[in-house]
Structure 1
Amino acid sequence: MAENGCELIEALEHEWRDALCSKDMDRLRDLVHPDFTLIGTRSTGPFTMRRDEWLDAIERREVNDIELEVQDATVLDQVMVGTVQARWRVKYLNRVIDDCVLLTDVWVFDEGRWRALRRHSTPAPAVAITKERRR
């Protein structure tokens, strides 16, 4: 992994995390592409969530803490792919959720900036994350 690619993805992932923790909806709208899709798995099975549905869910939950570590990054001219280990604690629908996931984030360079186009989230065992944490 090229060091500058990892640094670029880390900066974007931290910006995304900070916007989530502060519920900065304007910043989140800038960071996620209009065609953004979250793909993942829950105890009830696989799910897909489009951008507007995801933004609506963000407004209804309280993020207590997010830790993340970029494990790998590939950077091309117009596309980046990052593999991120994350752990977060959120309150959603009156339930506290403490979750560890492995994320694959696809970023595209669009309208002069990097924007998240896809996020694939896979449940992962709890691990110690060595990078910064935001509360």
Structure 2
Amino acid sequence: MQESEIISREKEWMDAWIAKDVSVFRDILSDDFLLSSARGNLMEKTEWINNASGPFTCKSFIWKEIKVRTYGNTAVVNAFVEQVASVGEKDWSGFFMLTDVWVQQNGKWQVVSRHGTGPLADQ
């Protein structure tokens, strides 16, 4: 059951990005969340929320493949995704590989880390 719950949380997170739903961001992202972006930046929770609710815009996020491996209260997600997104006027659309680390804490699964690679060559 953990796998389906984590996949559901992944989708909830990216749906919230499309909707710019800050309350969902705060619930899903652990206080010590850290993104290592495909563009070579490190971004903590507050900065990610500010960007995702501001200049980072996502129009669609499609899960092409997703694999979840759980280890007690920790889960690692490897995913291949396609997004239509932008930062201001810059297009950030394309295919990406993501690695997310989730921890069961505070009575729920929260993401503590995301690493993105891409955009990849057209698939």
Total equivalences in the alignment: 121
1:64 to 48, 51, 59: 59
Tell me whether 1:23 sits opposite 2:17 in the alignment. Answer: no
CA distance in 1 between partners of 2:7 and 2:65 (Å): 6
Question: Is residue 64–residue 82 contact of structure 2 (8 Å, CA) maintained in 1?
Answer: no
User: Could you say what the CA RMSD is over the residues aligned between the two structures, in angstroms?
Assistant: 1.6
Question: Is residue 6–residue 70 contact of structure 1 (8 Å, CA) maintained in 2?
Answer: no
1:16 alignment partner AA: W
Structure 2 residues without counterparts, runs of 5 or longer: none
Deviation at 1:92, TM superposition (A): 1.6
Deviation at 1:47, TM superposition (A): 1.8
User: What TM-score does the superposition give when structure 1 sets the normalisation length?
Assistant: 0.81
Structure 1 residues without counterparts, runs of 5 or longer: 128-135
CA distance in 2 between partners of 1:69 and 1:14 (Å): 12
Deviation at 1:72, TM superposition (A): 1.7
User: What TM-score does the superposition give when structure 2 sets the normalisation length?
Assistant: 0.88
1:126 maps to 122
Tell me whether 1:34 sits opposite 2:35 in the alignment. Answer: no
2:74 maps to 79
1:15 alignment partner AA: E
Question: Is residue 34–residue 51 contact of structure 1 (8 Å, CA) maintained in 2?
Answer: yes
1:19 alignment partner AA: A
Alpha-carbon distance change, 69 to 5 in structure 1, aligned in 2, over 3 angstroms = farther
1:50 maps to 44
Deviation at 1:37, TM superposition (A): 0.3
Return structure 1 stretches of 4+ with deviation > 3 angstroms.
none
CA distance in 2 between partners of 1:114 and 1:8 (Å): 8
CA distance in 2 between partners of 1:15 and 1:82 (Å): 15
Q: Percent identity?
A: 24
Deviation at 1:64, TM superposition (A): 0.9
